[in-house]
Amino acid sequence: MDQFSIVDMNMAEFTSFRPCSEKIHFSDYTYHVFLSFRGPDVRKSLVDHLFEAFKVAGIHAFLDNERLEKGKIIAMSLQKAIENSAILIPIFSSGYADSAWCLEEVREMWKYRSTRLIIPLFYGVDPSDVRYPEKDNGAFTEAFKRHYSKGRFGSHIIDEWKDALHNVSSLSGWSLDMAAGRIRVGIWGIGGIGKTTLADAIFNEVSSTFQASCFLSDIRGAQERGGIVGLQTQMLRDLSKVDIKVNDINHGKSLLQFHLGSICSLVILDNVDHWKQLDSFALDFCGPGSRAIVATRDCGTLNLSMPIENIYELQGLEQDEALELFSRHAFQKANPDDSHREQSTKIIKASGGVPLTLEVLGAFLFDKKSSDRCWIEAVRMLENVTYPEIFQTLKITYDSLLPSEKDILLDISCFFVGQDTEEPAIFWEELGLNVDTAIHNLQLKLLIKIDKDNKFRMHDLLRDLGRALVADESPGNPGKRSRL
């Protein structure tokens, strides 16, 4: 039943899912939902469960028990039921076209297309077989041959059935077979190794080849701030271009399940640290040809979540690449000065090829090329750090900061990541701190960034370092720490 979890949604919100010429008022109808289905195909496997779920959710659905036993053409009572239902859902199965009754229902549904919401479901049948019911070797081919040969119905009626199937199956809907067209990729590795950078490069390179794309950054940080609902809202807006209020995580998941099925999308989830977070974004419901990329520090997160076909561990940079990255930050060129080549080689070896470490250390040593003592101390400290104890490596730069710069860095890491810079700046100025100079120096050292929307950004590892430093002030008593 998870494949059709529409029942978690508020009925009033169905009207915003697909346009019709008039706004639907559910109080005007006898039934919320009318289902058209062929009993032998889906009665036991789907419909019974779906009706029970509708009942629990307070959705009033029409169930025609008589039709399941008799093979008559559509009765007047069913015409009335369709007319008096706000949402019309045909469940297309391999035997759907065998039933003239079902074909009459879908023809009747199409008459109300301008005032009703029609949502096709494809159960074990390719949508193109429904759209083109007489194509060679299609699921409905033999059924229509029999309808013509028996002569029970006029050719004009059969042509109307085909037109109705074509039109209704061309609407956005869901398919149980959609998952076959998706590939999921997992990228894992220690913090600072470059997962986000790689995911961002992939996104920029291939996102234009998809119908829609979405990059959800720092899932772990959003979880801590209670912001998963905000990310679900962003995903809905980016992929389906709808702007609907999401009440809670379960509501957001249901909305995503409803909207994603017909969209070929690229979704990147960055910095995931628990498999349940993946479940919040309904990746199982992305449309045919979709791709999902999940970046995490913990391989176990990928193994415990939904099936991910390809999992890659991101390793540190090779020595030549690491040396060039470090040199570009420490010397502003591809290779180090001869006077610092040996020390640079020791630094990149001790760093384990972690890009974040190389960038931050390079920025730290950029204006210290004339100070051999700083370089010697940096090498000595790094050589005493066991890879991948990156916190201690990054702390070298933190320890070099002025007191005002440390205060501002810790404030940002604890409170202001993702926040506008203006209000915190006023707060720091009231404390007598030299704000502009401090922020400029923190940016030069690559400890913080300010994005195009004038909001503070930090690598999550640097953010975690700042919070860890505050926690260490008083491990057993949070009330005595400088920041809560």
Residue-wise pLDDT for 114-158, tens only, equals 888 999 988 888 888 898 888 777 888 888 989 888 888 888 899
Mean pLDDT across 25-31: 76
Residue-wise pLDDT for 160-196, tens only, equals 999 999 999 988 777 765 444 556 888 888 888 889 8
Q: How confident is the model at residue 64 (pLDDT cuts 50, 70, 90)?
A: low
Task: Give pLDDT, residue 221.
Answer: 79
Mean pLDDT across 461-482: 87
Q: Of 4-18, 215-229, 317-331, 408-422, which range is least confident?
A: 4-18
Residue 481 clears pLDDT 80, i.e. is over it: yes
Q: What is the DSSP-derived secondary structure letter of residue 3?
A: G
Task: Give pLDDT, residue 44.
Answer: 64
CB 344 within 8 A of CB 365: no
Nearest by Cα to 394 from 239, 250, 192: 192
Cα 409 → chain centroid: 30
Q: How confident is the model at residue 65 (pLDDT cuts 50, 70, 90)?
A: low
Task: Give pLDDT, residue 70.
Answer: 45
Q: List the domains of the chain with CATH numbers.
A: 2-175 (3.40.50.10140), 179-313 (3.40.50.300), 319-388 (1.10.8), 401-480 (1.10.10)
Model pTM above 0.75:
no
Residue 104 among the catalytic residues: no
Task: Give pLDDT, residue 384.
Answer: 64
Residue-wise pLDDT for 370-418, tens only, equals 677 778 877 777 766 554 456 777 788 888 889 999 999 999 999 999 8
Is pLDDT larger for residue 226 or for residue 221? 221
Burial of residue 236 (number of CB atoms within 10 Å: 0-12, 13-18, 19+): buried
pLDDT above 90 as % of the chain: 23
Catalytic pick among 22, 66, 104, 105: 105
Give the CA angle between residues 20, 25, 31 to the nearest 5°. 100
